[in-house]
Amino acid sequence: MERTTGQLADGRQILWYDADGTHRTAVPDRRDLPTTVTGSQLRRDPLTGEWIAVASHRQSRTYLPPADQCPLCPSRDHLSEVPSSEYQVVAFENRFPSYELSAEVPETRTEGLEQIRAGRGRCEVVCFTSDHNSSFAELTPQQARLVVDTWADRTTDLNAMDGVEHVFPFENRGKEIGVTLQHPHGQIYAYPFVPPRAQTELEHAQAHLNEHGSSLFGDIIDSESAAATRVVTENDEWIAFVPFAARWPIEVHFYPKRQVPDIPALDDAARDGFVEVYLDVLQRFDRLYDEPTPYIAAWQQAPVSSYRDVAWLHLELYSIRRGEGKVKFLAGSESGQGAFVNDGLPEGMAQRLREVN
């Protein structure tokens, strides 16, 4: 893989990733862009102890532009965020970030009910392909592997940045999810804290290790393999299954069969193995209904400085689609209490995914 680093007109970093050894030259960004001023801040919820990001500048972010004005396409007939006529995979700092390394607040408060601090972190966009009309499921294995290598490289860089505690690559796909740009892409958030979902999983894994002397994640893999009823597909390196207590109408978790803390720790065989099972399942998702399935793909990696020995890298893929033309809304129980209700049996969804043509 070859990496080329450049700078956008307002000073943000951009990186091109090429699998074929292309010796790319960074192209100047000819746009007249003002420097982004974020003002991101973190406010602590005294009821839960969770940090809430406040990023009011994001109200003006780009919203569903026409295809010929897509800011993630290569700069050909219009000037976009990618100042080159073509690319394989590209990553760049988000123009409208939730977190920003230089964020400042007028006053930091670390005590009392109203705690506040600067929302320092980093948000990046990763474009999976220059083809506006494609999707991750339609990538070739070689292109998908380049995306995995890009995630690994970005995780390594972001983990090393001052103040970053957790790196989270993810993809939102589909208008039902709330995607504002249709071009195939994902994002990476580098948080200045360990976010709640990751913290909860890791705390449970630590408690399980203390009580049973074994990895919670490894025991889940063994249990799913033994039951087999919820396994969708697997190969020598990875297993993909509908979890026993799935929250979402369609949900599949992907685990490497060997414990690693994060994407950079995957060797070549594990990266290729992931591509095989991931493309398989994404294609099954899209064949379930007449319309492509909206989804969120969420990587769970080890934090930068905690739980490194306990964590087990995995990907959680889920969709709000509950039927043809129907979506699951997070209503009273889910939004008000965080108590999920799934309308279908996980075993039934696993069988549907296995049998889909």
Average pLDDT over residues 208-214: 98
Task: Check pLDDT > 90 for residue 133.
Answer: yes
How much of the chain, in percent, has pLDDT values that exceed 70?
Answer: 99
183 assigned ligand-binding residue:
yes
Give domain 2-194's CATH number out of 3.40.50.300, 3.40.920.10, 3.30.428.10, 1.50.40.10.
3.30.428.10
Q: Two tokens at 11?
A: 């000073």
Specify the pLDDT at position 16. 97
Intra-chain end-to-end CA distance of the chain, in Å = 34
Helices of type H across the chain: 141-159, 196-212, 216-227, 268-287, 337, 346-355
Q: Mean pLDDT across the chain, nearest whole number?
A: 95
Q: Tokens 């069969």 identify what position?
A: 257
**Mean pLDDT lowest among 213-217, 309-313, 327-331:** 327-331
Specify the pLDDT at position 60. 67
- Going by C-alpha positions, the residue among 107, 120, 122, 113 that lies closest to residue 42 is 120
Give the pLDDT band (50/70/90) at residue 293.
very high
How much of the chain, in percent, has pLDDT values that exceed 90?
Answer: 91
* Distance, CA of 85 to CA of 114 (rounded, Å): 49
- Going by C-alpha positions, the residue among 50, 317, 48 that lies closest to residue 191 is 50
pTM for the model stands at 0.96
Q: Tell me which fold the domain 197-355 belongs to.
A: HIT family, subunit A (3.30.428)
Average pLDDT over residues 265-281: 98
Give the pLDDT band (50/70/90) at residue 295.
very high
123 assigned ligand-binding residue:
no
Q: Two tokens at 299?
A: 């990587």
Task: Check pLDDT > 80 for residue 54.
Answer: yes
User: What is the DSSP code (8-state) at residue 109?
Assistant: B
Chain region(s) in the chain for CATH 3.30.428.10: 2-194, 197-355
Specify the pLDDT at position 58. 77
Q: Say if residue 111 is exposed, middle or buried (CB neighbours under 10 Å; 0-12, 13-18, 19+).
A: exposed
Give the tens place of pLDDT for each residue, 151-193: 999 999 999 999 999 999 999 999 999 898 999 999 999 999 9
Q: Say if residue 199 is exposed, middle or buried (CB neighbours under 10 Å; 0-12, 13-18, 19+).
A: middle
Specify the pLDDT at position 134. 97
Average pLDDT over residues 128-132: 97
Strand partners, 4: 16
Q: Which residues are within 8 A (CB) of 47 and not within 5 positions of it... i.e. 6 or more apart? A: none
DSSP-assigned states of every residue in 317-336: EEE-EEETTEE----IIIII
Specify the pLDDT at position 357. 82
Residue 140, CA atoms < 13 Å, CB-side half-sphere: 7
Active site annotation includes 314: no
Helix (H, G, I), strand (E, B) or coil at 100: coil
User: Which candidate in 166, 185, 253, 314 is catalytic?
Assistant: 185
Amino acid at 304: V
Q: How far is CA 172 from CA 76, 96, 179, 184, in A?
A: 26, 16, 6, 9
Q: Tokens 């490194």 identify what position?
A: 308
Contact 5, 13 (CB under 8 A): yes
Name the pairing type of β-strands 2-7 and 314-319. unpaired
Give the tens place of pLDDT for each residue, 227-267: 999 999 999 999 999 999 999 999 999 999 999 999 999 99
Task: Check pLDDT > 80 for residue 304.
Answer: yes
Q: What is the largest CA-CA distance in the chain?
A: 61
CA dihedral 118, 335, 288, 349 (to 10 degrees): 110
Q: Which residues are within 8 A (CB) of 330 and not within 5 positions of it... i.e. 6 or more apart? A: none
70 assigned ligand-binding residue:
yes
Q: Two tokens at 222?
A: 């063994």
Helix (H, G, I), strand (E, B) or coil at 349: helix
212 assigned ligand-binding residue:
no
